[in-house]
């Protein structure tokens, strides 16, 4: 209980959160009703029962289906505001949020609708809850680089409100190098670059994310540990890894939290952070991720503080913010 209070009270920054993955079943039902959309579930319990995954693709199939209830600017606002209200209780002070524009434009919801509702909630979270945030637009890697370029074009009027680009969705078979040109274009426009790599994909994908995409931050990165030279490089470069323990458990990246590599990462000198990824689907927000990992790996108070601090120092905020926060 002492550890619980300690973890709960720490200020936190979340750096790996897909806003569409924070859609709780209750809100899914409410939005389905508001928008007269049929969903293949009869109850909230049925939805939760469907959240049993053997791998990333299992999850993605249900994640893309879930977001089909999001249609209007207000829907995106309500989704995003619900996330901020929830993590306010977890002492989250700053969040760098992913969204998947192609998950919406593909089903006829405009880029502008999705981003404007999300941004309005981000403004509200700043004024009402004191939580600062940024938006990172992800390209779906199972789609083509040409599609990613079209998405970057749609983002053009919004670039002053977009911090960076990311890369998510099905990793295996879609290596980072597939997106080398669109990331170069994004970087030219002054956008930060991040990518999911080494969640299911091999260490070579992490190397590609570094060398081809020139990422500023690595999302997941678990499988980097299979490659000692790569670990050394990540440590030397001071690369931040946005690790998501309950996600890794839910998607069978690890069989048991006690086998989670987070402690090994810290021991190897990697700047690891703890994040929730898709909290509605993976069974926990920030405090749950911190607490369950701390218990499973028997983390010390120092290690827990380091993880929370790494969230701030790994953010894209300026140095003053990074040190003031904790």
Binding site for ligand HPA (CB under 6 A): 18, 21, 56, 63, 168-169, 196, 199, 247, 277-278
User: Per the structure block, which two tokens stand in for 231?
Assistant: 């670990």
Q: Is 284 helix (H, G, I), strand (E, B) or coil?
A: coil
Q: How far is the CB of 304 from ligand HPA (least distance, A)?
A: 23
Establish whether 4 is a catalytic residue: no
Nearer to ligand HPA, 172 or 204 (CB): 172
User: Per the structure block, which two tokens stand in for 159?
Assistant: 């670039």
Residues 6+ apart with CB under 8 A from 175: 201, 204, 205, 208
169 binds, among Zn ion, ligand HPA, none (CB under 5 to 8 A by kind): ligand HPA
Q: What is the dihedral of CA 251, 254, 256, 260, to 10 degrees?
A: -130
User: Per the structure block, which two tokens stand in for 199?
Assistant: 């969640």
Q: How far is the CB of 114 from ligand HPA (least distance, A)?
A: 15
Binding positions for Zn ion, 260-289, rule CB under 5 A: 277
Q: How far is the CB of 266 from Zn ion (least distance, A)?
A: 20
The 3-class SS string of 180-227 reads HHHHHHHHHCCCEEEEEECCCCCHHHHHHHHHCCCCCEEEECHHHHHC
282 binds, among ligand HPA, Zn ion, none (CB under 5 to 8 A by kind): none
201 binds, among ligand HPA, Zn ion, none (CB under 5 to 8 A by kind): none
Give me the residue whose beta carbon is nearest to ligand HPA. 168
56 binds, among ligand HPA, Zn ion, none (CB under 5 to 8 A by kind): ligand HPA
Of 14, 20, 171, 199, the catalytic one is 199
Percentages helix, strand, coil for the chain (3-state, rounded to 5) are: 55, 15, 30
Closest listed residue to residue 198, CA positions, set 227, 223, 217: 223
The count of other CB atoms within 10 Å of the CB of residue 300 is 11
278 is in an annotated binding site: yes
Q: Which positions are annotated as active-site residues? A: 199
Which residues fall in the annotated binding site?
16, 18, 196, 277-278
Which residues fall in the annotated binding site for Zn(2+)?
16, 18, 196, 277
Interface with Zn ion by CB under 5 A: which residues?
A: 277
């Amino acid at each position: 209980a002492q550890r619980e209070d300690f973890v709960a009270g720490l200020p936190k920054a979340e750096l790996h959160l897909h806003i569409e993955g924070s859609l709780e079943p209750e809100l899914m039902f409410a939005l389905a009703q508001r928008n007269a959309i049929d969903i293949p579930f009869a109850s909230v319990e049925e939805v939760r029962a469907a959240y049993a995954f053997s791998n990333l693709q299992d999850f993605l199939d249900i994640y893309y289906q879930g977001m089909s209830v999001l249609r209007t600017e207000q829907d995106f606002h309500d989704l995003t505001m619900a996330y901020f209200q929830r993590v306010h209780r977890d002492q989250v002070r700053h969040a760098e949020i992913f969204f998947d524009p192609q998950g919406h434009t593909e089903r006829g919801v405009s880029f502008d609708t999705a981003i404007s509702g999300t941004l309005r909630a981000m403004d509200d979270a700043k004024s009402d809850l004191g939580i600062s945030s940024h938006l990172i637009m992800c390209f779906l890697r199972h789609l083509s680089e040409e599609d990613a370029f079209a998405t970057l074009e749609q983002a053009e009027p919004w670039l002053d409100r977009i911090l960076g680009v990311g890369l998510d969705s099905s990793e295996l078979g879609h290596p980072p190098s597939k997106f080398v040109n669109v990331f170069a274009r994004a970087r030219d426009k002054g956008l930060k670059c991040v990518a999911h790599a080494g969640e299911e994909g091999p260490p070579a994908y992490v190397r590609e994310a570094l060398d081809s995409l020139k990422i500023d931050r690595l999302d997941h990165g678990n499988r980097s540990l299979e490659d000692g030279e790569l670990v050394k490089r990540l440590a030397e470069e001071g690369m931040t890894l946005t690790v998501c323990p309950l996600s890794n458990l839910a998607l069978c990246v690890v069989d048991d939290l006690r086998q989670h590599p987070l402690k090994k990462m810290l021991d190897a000198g990697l700047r690891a952070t703890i994040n929730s990824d898709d909290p509605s689907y993976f069974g926990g927000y920030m405090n749950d991720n911190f607490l369950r990992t701390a218990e499973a790996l028997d983390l010390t108070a120092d290690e827990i503080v380091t993880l929370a601090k790494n969230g701030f120092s790994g953010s894209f905020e300026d140095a003053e913010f990074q040190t003031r926060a904790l």
